Chain A
Amino acid sequence: MSEQVLPFYVVCDESYSMEPHIPQLNQYLQELHQAIGTDPVVSDKTRFCVIGFSGTAEVLLPLSELSEVEEMCGLTAKAATSYIAAFELVRDTIDRDVSMLKGDGHRVYRPAVFFLSDGLPTDEADWVPSHQRLTDRNWGPRPNIVAFGIGEADAPTIQRVATFKAFMVRQGVSPVDALHEFAKALTKSIVRSSTTLADGGQVSLQVPEKIEGFTELKVDPV
């Protein structure tokens, strides 16, 4: 328990349908980097990881302290949308990160996953078991998942992915606006959650009540 650490994982859909919006999303990630990286209070306590997924999944930015990251990673569009690949990699990554942090003597708070998808999974039928492994109550570091659906994403699917909160973009909201709101909500969540941490050690994930352009979906308790 050397330091108090609150890890955030951003898990982003990089399928081809995202292609036109990826430069914008990359821009927003850089803004997030700037905002968090220059706030010493927040960056002292949070770690940030970016995972991109398409047919496969990849850690684009390993769990890092944003004030020490020189350049933010970028996403690139690829084929397919495999939720299985995403969930498996997220679980493995969290597992490894948390045991490493704990090994270093840190007190690690429950990780938060911000999941963003713009379509149906191409492995529609069989992603559920991998999701169950990620949300397994017997697995200590299971994350709180906040899921965002944009584009062609399907509300019931987004609802099932989330364990904490789920948001679906409203009709008629442009993808760029939606991504911007997503990035803003993520930044706010990181800042607020880490400032709550200052208040007494009982951290709870803070997600804005309202996110412009999105409708909140009910999340079934696991």
Chain B
Amino acid sequence: MAGAGTGDLPWGDPPDQARYVRVIGKPGRAAQAPWRLGGDLGWPDTLLDAGRVGALTVRVASTRGPSHRFYGTVREDAAQAVDIDGRYLAAAVADGAGSVTGSGHAAQIAVRYALHRLHQRLGRRAATEHGGLVQEVQDAIGQADQALRRQWQGPPATTLVVAVLSALPDAEGRYPFAAARVGDSSAYRRAGGGFVDLLPEAPAGEGPQVHTTRTEGLPSPVLARGLPLVAGALERDEVLLLASDGLGTPLRIEEVNAEVARWWRRPPDPVEFLAQVQFRRKSFDDDRSAVAVWTSAGAPPPAAAARGVAVVGSSHLPRVHPQARPFAHQEPPPPDQVLDAGRAGDLEVRAASVRGARHGREALARHESVGVIGVAGQVVAVVAQGTPTGASFHAGCGYAVRECLAMAKAAPPGVPAAELAGWLAGVVARTDERLAGSGEVPPGEQTALLVAVVDSAPGAAGGYGFALARAGGPPAYRLSGAKLVPVPDTAPPDAASPDTAPPVAAVARVRLGGPRPGPPLRVASGHGQLAGGEALVLASEGMRLADPEVADRVAAYLDRSEPGPLEFLDALPGLVRDEADRSAVVVWAGDRAPAPGAEAAAPAETGTPPAAGPPAADPAAAGPASGPAPGAGPAPGGGPGPAAGPPAADAGGER
């Protein structure tokens, strides 16, 4: 039958690799169908977070379900956990209603404001003594409700479950917690080999919860009078779980519940956690989000420590960065890892951004960001990286990616990508202006930005046209014949300046941001054609593609693998033995097109990148030890480059 509209190269995570694909019962067809890129700016397919707060170990995942992946629509769930001064962990999960357009945005607002409120109330600098955890959780939901009334104004659009836990044990060695919910996202506790719903839909009278007015979503006119809520204390080695109904509904099935409870007896490593959250089961195709919290983790799981994968907030690191910024800044701190993937026309796309070990250790957030969307006939991809400022996170790169995508989405219709280079350079310049005018990005922050537009169908000559623009940061690369070749700038940023000389800061700004008024921004641009089978690679400096050895390793991996989404996310850290954040977008052109001698990227024009970053710095502290991934199955991401076997070519697609 073959999914409609699939071309030659839909590839997914290999079903035989338990590290990436879990199945409970029949997998169903939807979960095996190729993913499509979303056309919405919203946020990526998947976010993944992991870390420790006090004696708690935390995993957070929020993913599109098979339905949204198949239709190329956006994730409507949101999930986040924050560290409140090492004393509390606050967590929230929200699920935007499918029937309300843009509800994913409402879900994000709900999560962010609830957690912000808890941080205000329970943080060390709180103005007043806080009340009981139950009241605080209720109050946080009330704040989320009010924020939605101000910012949303539509019909009830999102569920919300909020929990707060003491991060340190009390005198009896227990961890007090409270949770409350609106709608069908709920809180669960692992007990007796299964997860038990702490806030069930049951009539009042049983258990500790109060249950009066039913409210299914926020904003809600009848919130004040009471919510399902629970207070209690976890013992050592217990698990508290918040889940959207995408996970909660199948958890009502005994077989599923028992299996998940077995998986989560101990904290799995992040990628494994992600694979488990999105286990396949026929007909359960909703988005899924989970925040799982383990009390007193004991020894860190060996998997996380020993894997070469650069420790992305693994459990032995203090992580879950504090909510350090005032909430006037709309940009929430980014999660450890984001992943986007899917197909658009003949293109297969992978995008991921992963926090490196150094930031993990210092409890700083990722300073990079990626974004990718499919729009009419084209794919737009962005990589941004912020220069460190000492702040816990970098607001500019996330903001820049969103703004840049929003503008690039409005590309003049029907124009081949290769003709958009100049226009794209304008987008980068305007992104810079918006950043400066946003009030959300501190002037000290600087951001390098690289954006590409690629045609998702071959042009007359058989090639897939693309255009690039960038300010600061490394150039884009073309993957061709297992080699990565920088794509030259065809329009040098400033014809007068000698491109080989390092840019003079006084003359032009190399990156976005910085104090205003300032010198003009140097934007370089380029264009070209990808032949079928080639790929365009956009990478952050952390990928260190300027280092020939690294570039060869990455090229070899990308050339011989057709990595599924999770596999790609998993491989990214291992490809560079370094502690920096790293981000990459890879856009493969389908080889359906014969691509007869597609005279590829204008080789004549030379020109060095205007502002190549510091060339391959020291190989840093050599990262964590490499070695085979213990635990669940083979792990190609580990160790010396990708040890991945040859790819299971037809892996993910139905056929």
- 1/0 per position for A1-33, CB-CB distance to B under 8 A? 111110000000000000000000000000000
Partner of B1 from A3, A37, A45, A195 at Cβ < 8 Å: A37
Give the CA-CA distance A41 to B253 in the complex, in Å. Answer: 20
- Across-interface contacts of B30 in A (CB, < 8 A): 40-41, 44
Tell me, yes or no, whether B65 is within 8 Å of chain A by CB.
yes
Please, which residue of chain A has its CB at the minimum distance from the CB of B68?
Answer: A198
Contact status B67-A41, CB under 8 Å: yes
Give the CA-CA distance A2 to B283 in the complex, in Å. Answer: 9
Q: A106 to chain B: closest CB distance in Å?
A: 8
Interface contacts (Cβ under 8 Å), in number, total 71
- Across-interface contacts of B95 in A (CB, < 8 A): 200
Give the CA-CA distance A164 to B32 in the complex, in Å. Answer: 35
- Across-interface contacts of B633 in A (CB, < 8 A): none
Please, which residue of chain A has its CB at the minimum distance from the CB of B29?
Answer: A40
Give the CA-CA distance A4 to B98 in the complex, in Å. Answer: 18
Partner of A45 from B26, B253, B283 at Cβ < 8 Å: B283
- Across-interface contacts of A40 in B (CB, < 8 A): 3, 28-30, 32-33, 66, 70, 654
Contact status A3-B70, CB under 8 Å: no
Contact status A41-B71, CB under 8 Å: yes
Partner of A38 from B4, B32, B284, B286 at Cβ < 8 Å: B4
Give the CA-CA distance A2 to B252 in the complex, in Å. Answer: 10
Contact status B29-A200, CB under 8 Å: no
Please, which residue of chain B has its CB at the minimum distance from the CB of A40?
Answer: B29
Q: A190 to chain B: closest CB distance in Å?
A: 14
Contact status A44-B28, CB under 8 Å: yes
- 1/0 per position for B41-74, CB-CB distance to A under 8 A? 0000000000000000000000001110011000
Q: B342 to chain A: closest CB distance in Å?
A: 15
- 1/0 per position for A191-212, CB-CB distance to B under 8 A? 0000110111100000000000
- 1/0 per position for B542-563, CB-CB distance to A under 8 A? 0000000000000000000000
- Across-interface contacts of B28 in A (CB, < 8 A): 3, 40, 44
Please, which residue of chain A has its CB at the minimum distance from the CB of B28?
Answer: A44
Please, which residue of chain A has its CB at the minimum distance from the CB of B217?
Answer: A200
Give the number of residues in B that approach A within 8 Å (Cβ atoms): 33
Q: B191 to chain A: closest CB distance in Å?
A: 21
Give the CA-CA distance A67 to B71 in the complex, in Å. Answer: 17
Residue among B32, B65, B67, B71 with the most chain A CB within 10 A? Answer: B67
Tell me, yes or no, whether B249 is within 8 Å of chain A by CB.
yes
- 1/0 per position for B261-293, CB-CB distance to A under 8 A? 000000000000000000001111110000000
Contact status A1-B253, CB under 8 Å: yes
Contact status B32-A198, CB under 8 Å: no
Please, which residue of chain A has its CB at the minimum distance from the CB of B281?
Answer: A3
Give the CA-CA distance A3 to B4 in the complex, in Å. Answer: 24
Please, which residue of chain A has its CB at the minimum distance from the CB of B248?
Answer: A201
Q: A32 to chain B: closest CB distance in Å?
A: 14
Give the CA-CA distance A176 to B25 in the complex, in Å. Answer: 43
Please, which residue of chain B has its CB at the minimum distance from the CB of A5?
Answer: B283
Tell me, yes or no, whether B122 is within 8 Å of chain A by CB.
no
Tell me, yes or no, whether B92 is within 8 Å of chain A by CB.
no
Partner of B252 from A1, A41, A67, A195 at Cβ < 8 Å: A1
Q: B25 to chain A: closest CB distance in Å?
A: 6
Given A196-B99, A199-B98: A44 and B286 interface contact (C-beta under 8 Å): no
Which 9 A-B pairs give the minimum distances between C-beta atoms?
A199-B98, A40-B29, A40-B30, A3-B283, A44-B28, A41-B30, A4-B283, A198-B67, A45-B283
User: B residues within 8 Å of A by Cβ?
Assistant: 1-4, 25-26, 28-30, 32-33, 65-67, 70-71, 95, 97-99, 184, 245, 249, 252-253, 255, 281-286, 654
A-B contact pairs, 5 of them (CB 8 A): A3-B283, A3-B284, A43-B29, A195-B98, A199-B99
Interface contacts beyond A3-B282, A67-B29, A198-B286: sample of 19 additional A-B pairs, CB < 8 Å, sorted by A? A1-B252, A3-B26, A3-B28, A3-B281, A5-B283, A38-B4, A39-B4, A40-B66, A40-B70, A41-B285, A43-B29, A44-B285, A195-B98, A196-B99, A198-B65, A198-B285, A200-B97, A201-B245, A201-B249
